[in-house]
Structure 1
Amino acid sequence: MTVLSSDRNTPRLDGDKRHGFVAGGSLIYAGAIVLRAADGYLHEGHTATGMVGVGRAEERIDNRIGADGEEGLTYRRGIYKFANSAAADEITHADIGSLAYAVDDQTVAKTDGTGTRSPAGIIDGVDADGVWVRFDEALTKAS
């Protein structure tokens, strides 16, 4: 490619909506935690390793009988409230700024469950109703 010799209308993405391809065998409900596996396919939040949280599902996608990438999903980055885990894995105000780990498609925990859970995002706040989680794939990977 050569250097520019005139103005260029460079494409950009606006907002926090993203689109990705869903892993075969996945059922992702609207509002669920969405994880990306190392192969790039999206999964519903669940206890597993080798994934990272990317956002909240904007729609329901059923790819339980489809192959990897047969269905696409719109998801949104941002800060969303999910259920808090319990006992030793309960997230508190002292954990704000730390990683939250995916337990299932609507629950996050304080720990990686002795190496069994993937990071969902960064803990942004905690209240009586749950945990506010910041979904930013690059930030979560860097943490």
Structure 2
Amino acid sequence: MTALTKERNTPERLNKRCNDPMAAAVVIFAGALVVLDASGNATKGVTGTGLTARGVAMATVDNSAGAAGAESIETEKGTWRFENDGTDTVDRTHIGGTAYIVDDQTVAATDGTGTRSAAGKIVDVDDLGVWVEIA
């Protein structure tokens, strides 16, 4: 491509919602923390490394009988409240730091000695859970 020589109408994307192909043999429930695996396919949040937090599932999608990419799921970025891990508990001293994925509804304060992927930035902690910004 060459540099512009006249005005261009450049498309804009708000980048709040995404739609991704799903990993094989997975069911993701509405409200679940969704991640992208090493292949770039959406799957539910689990303890593991190399995962990229994508957002929260907008609907339940069942790809339990399908191959990778047979179904797609819509996710939304933003600040969401997740369950606080009972052993590696996030508290108010962690605000501004990183929350780490335990499962599709739970986050922890640390990476579990290199076994957990980042969920996002800890925005707040209350009696009901941990508010995490997935950007």
> 2: CA distance between counterparts of 1:49 and 1:2?
39
Alpha-carbon RMSD? 1.3
> 1: CA distance between counterparts of 2:121 and 2:96?
6
Is structure 2 residue 66 aligned with structure 1 residue 44? no
Q: Which 5+ residue runs of structure 2 have no aligned equivalent?
A: none
Q: Which 5+ residue runs of structure 1 have no aligned equivalent?
A: 137-143
1:129 match: 128
- What residue identity is the alignment partner of 1:13? R
Partner deviation per Cα, 1:99-122 (whole Å, 9 max, x = no partner) = 111111111111222222211111
Q: Choose between structure 1 and 2: higher helix proportion.
A: 1
Compute the displacement of 1:42 (Å): 1.0
1:79 match: 79
TM-score, structure 2 normalization: 0.93
> 1: CA distance between counterparts of 2:54 and 2:96?
17
TM-score, structure 1 normalization: 0.88
1:107 match: 106
Compute the displacement of 1:15 (Å): 5.1
Compute the displacement of 1:79 (Å): 0.3
Q: Which aligned segments of 4 or more residues in structure 1 are displaced greater than 6 angstroms?
A: none
- What residue identity is the alignment partner of 1:120? A
2:91 match: 92
Report sequence identity in percent: 44
Number of matched pairs: 135
